[in-house]
Amino acid sequence: MKATCKILKPLVLCLAGGAAAAVAARPKIIIENDFGSTAFTTFLQAFDAGWDVLGLVGDTANTWALQSSLHALALLERAGLSSCVPVHKGADYPLLNTPELHQLWQARHGALPWQGVFKPENATAEAAGWDPTSGDPGRVVPEAFAEGYPNGTLAGARAAAWMVEQVRRHPGEVLIYSGGALTNIALAVRMDPEFASLAKGLVVMGGYVDVFLLQTSGDSLQADINSDLNLKIDPEAAKIALTADFPSITLIGNGANQFIPSQEFKDEVFQVQNPFTQLFHDRIDITLPLWDEIALFAGLFPSHVLNSTSFYVDVDTAWSSPFYGNIIPKQPSMVGKSQRLKRVKFVHSVNTTEFQAHLKHALQHPKTGCNMLGQDVQRVDIRAGACSLVSLLPQGGAKELFARSM
Helix H or strand E segment including 68:
helix 65-79
| pLDDT at position 89 over 50 | yes
Query: 179 with 34: CB under 8 angstroms?
Result: yes
- CB-based contact 112:229 (threshold 8 Å): yes
Does the pLDDT at position 397 exceed 90?
no
Mean pLDDT of 32-37: 98
| Residue type at 244 in one-letter notation | A
Which CATH code for domain 25-362?
A: 3.90.245.10
Answer yes or no: is pLDDT of 282 > 70.
Answer: yes
Spatial separation of the C-alpha atoms in residues 353 and 273, rounded to whole Å: 22
CA distance linking residue 51 with residue 44, whole number of Å: 10
The pLDDT tens digits for 193-249 are 999 999 999 999 999 999 888 888 888 898 898 889 999 999 999 999 999 999 999
User: What percent of the chain shows pLDDT beyond 90?
Assistant: 79
Half-sphere exposure of 221 (CA within 13 A, CB side): 6
Mean pLDDT in residue range 324-348: 95
Q: Looking at the predicted structure, is the pLDDT value of residue 400 above 50?
A: no
pLDDT score recorded for residue 10: 44
State the chain's mean pLDDT as an integer: 88
Using the predicted structure, report yes or no on whether residue 395 has a pLDDT greater than 70.
no
- Using the predicted structure, report yes or no on whether residue 142 has a pLDDT greater than 50: yes
Domain boundaries, the chain: 25-362
CB 218 within 8 A of CB 193: no
CB 72 within 8 A of CB 58: yes
What integer pLDDT is reported at residue 372 of this predicted model? 62
**Reported pTM:** 0.87
Question: Region 14-23: what's the mean pLDDT?
Answer: 53
Q: Which helix (H) or strand (E) holds 188?
A: helix 183-191
Q: In this predicted model, what pLDDT tens digit does every residue of 167-179 receive, in sequence order? A: 999 999 999 999 9
d(CA 74, CA 78): 6
CA–CA separation, 3 and 371 (whole Å) = 28
